[in-house]
Structure 1
Amino acid sequence: MAHIEIIVGSVLGASEYVADALSEVLQQHGHHCNIHLTPDMPTLRRDAIWLVCSSTHGAGDLPDNIQPWFEQLKSTDLTAQPVMLIGLGDSSYDTYCHGAIKIEQALRDAGAEMLHAPLHIDVLNHPIPEDVAVKWLSHQLDKLG
């Protein structure tokens, strides 16, 4: 089974709840997961699939806890690193999911391989985002090996 590194960017905890729910589903299917609430590039396994789950804060900014990792990301070669991405945002803002969009662009620029198009969850329409994320992940399990 696969090893999954879950990288979390969160301000108010919603992304953490999503990460916990995803980890539970993955473990039920025999995968091994590590959740990183203060991600740091050297601690992430390169032989694992990375599942990034981040909210957007302020005017399209990343949460404080993931910003150092994001800066590391910009100078890291991630050629062929398998990645999946979930972004949480509020569509009443014109910067809806811009945090996840910034992460996606940086991952692509670093050479990461997106296993699926990112999932953007509108918390305005889905106040329990982990339900949407778990449903999405359930359809992706075959890609995890």
Structure 2
Amino acid sequence: MKKISLVFGSVYGSAESVADTLYRELENRGIAVELHQPESLSDYVPNEDELLLMVCSTTGDGDLPDNILPWFLQMKDRAPYLPELTYAVVALGDSSYDTFCGGGHQLDELFSELCAKRLGDVFEIDACETMEPENEALGWLKKWLKLLK
């Protein structure tokens, strides 16, 4: 299996906790994984030989968290052509807002524009329905890993 690069954007720590949980589970399964901290993303362009897994919360009016916004803007400005990149998005949000999971969907739209291929649907975790987004993400991960085979 290809190495997985895991990127996250978080406001209050939920998306970071989900990313940490997914990272530990992937490591426990013997899958090569690298967790990128948001502050280390400057000049980072995903390697097309890897899988990109993005975990992102939403803030404001469907906005990206401040810690991942610079990378998002950098990728948008550079617009690298990534037709061989496969990615997935785990989006966290609150369905009582019209902009539910807007941060994750912005990442999905950007990588689609860069010609990368999404594997599976954007997985949305609703804060109105769960107090433990990590458990929701682990359930999703098991299904997502089956898509890789």
SS at match of 1:139: helix
> In the alignment, which residue of structure 1 is the partner of 2:123?
119
Deviation at 1:41, TM superposition (A): 4.5
In angstroms, what is the RMSD of aligned CA positions? 1.4
Distance 2:147 2:29 in 1: 13
C-alpha spacing 1:142/1:40, structure 2 compared with 1 (3 Å): farther
Structure 2 CA distance for aligned equivalents of residues 95 and 43 of structure 1: 27
The reply to whether residue 110 of structure 1 matches residue 102 of structure 2 is: no
Tell me, yes or no, if structure 1 residue 62 matches structure 2 residue 64: yes
> Could you tell me how far apart the structure 2 residues matched to 1:57 and 1:112 are?
25
Q: Cα–Cα, structure 1 residues 44 and 106, in superposed 2: closer, same or farther, change >3 Å?
A: closer
Shift of 1:52: 0.3
How far is 1:2 from its partner?
Answer: 2.6
Cα deviation for residue 43 of structure 1 reads 5.9
Distance of aligned partners of 1:19 and 1:66 in 2 relative to their CA distance in 1, 3 Å threshold: same
Instruction: Return structure 1 stretches of 4+ with deviation > 4 angstroms.
Output: none
- Shifted more, 26-35 versus 102-111: the winner is 26-35
Secondary structure of the 2:110 match is helix
Residue deviations 1:55-112, cap 9 Å, x none?
Answer: 0011111001111111122222111211010000011111111111111111101001
Q: TM-score, normalised by structure 1?
A: 0.93
- Label 1:139 to 1:110 Cα distance change in 2 as closer, same or farther (>3 A): same
Structure 1 pair 41/136, CA: closer, same or farther in 2 (3 Å)? Answer: farther
What is the letter of the counterpart of residue 91 of structure 2? Answer: G
Q: Which structure 2 residue ranges, 5 or more long, are not aligned?
A: none
TM-score by length of 2: 0.90
Matched, 1:15 2:15: yes
CA distance in 1 between counterparts of 2:84 and 2:27 reads 24
Q: Residues of 2 paired with 1:120 and 1:20: CA distance?
A: 17
Gaps of 5+ in 1: none
- 1:48 paired residue among 46, 50, 61: 50
Count how many residue pairs are aligned between Structure 1 and Structure 2: 145
Q: Check conservation: 1:80, 1:113, Cα contact below 8 A.
A: yes
Q: Structure 1 residues 77 and 41, CA, compared in 2 at 3 Å: closer, same or farther?
A: farther
